[in-house]
Amino acid sequence: MKEERARDIYVEEIMTRVPITGCPDLSTKELGSLMRSWKVGSIIITVEGRPVGIVTEKDLVEKVVAEDKLPGVVTAQEIMSSPVVTVCPRDSVADAGRKMARLHLRRLPVVENGELMGIITENDITRLSPTLIEITREWENINAPLMDRRGLGAFIGYCERCEAYSYDLRREGGASGKSSMLCPDCRDMLIQERPE
């Protein structure tokens, strides 16, 4: 008897079908209000139904707030990530998770023939299978060329000091000479703890 392979789960089965969108000339203040109103972490920027960029909460913090720019003046077009990294509705969820892990993204617009069909996020995937994101990240770490991993300088996982999950783990040496994978907060504390 022939062994049956488990059926792939497709992106279209778990994606959010009505993503929140905006146009390139929206101010970042308007984008922030949209995110708050809809309780989302990103807005897909579209022109005539086609995605041209994406603005995330991180973009608002790093490109507007941290640079002390006026939210009512800065537009989506000025801070959006473009071109947009996307997936197709019939891509497997596992492939989408691997793409997120490889590119350090937390969400991917779902596009077919240039038209926006939805969005898939890490949360969608973890609701389906809490271990899938971790497995795809481990898979990426195992299969990525060593030089590429060292070139990035950062890893994803749990801090060996505070045990918090971080997208920016780096190897740091302690006073005992033993090195650990630490998150940014623990690296800062380590610097403060070192004798002058």
Query: Are residues 121 and 37 both part of a single domain?
Result: yes
Using CA atoms, how far residue 94 sits from 29, 53, 88, 118, in Å, is 35, 24, 13, 17
pLDDT of amino acid 163: 74
Query: Are residues 122 and 157 both part of a single domain?
Result: no
Q: 3-state class of 49 per DSSP?
A: coil
From its phi and psi, is residue 157 left (phi > 0), alpha (psi between -120 and 50) or beta? left
Query: Is 145 inside a domain boundary?
Result: no
Query: Are residues 160 and 118 both part of a single domain?
Result: no
- List, for residues 62-94, the tens digit of each pLDDT value: 999 999 999 999 999 999 998 999 999 999 998
Last residue of a domain, one of 133, 161, 176: 133
pLDDT of amino acid 196: 57
Query: Are residues 24 and 109 both part of a single domain?
Result: yes
Residue 125 has pLDDT above 80, yes or no: yes
**Residue 78 CA from chain centroid, whole number:** 20
Query: Are residues 127 and 180 both part of a single domain?
Result: no
Query: Are residues 128 and 178 both part of a single domain?
Result: no
pLDDT of amino acid 103: 87
Query: Is 138 inside a domain boundary?
Result: no
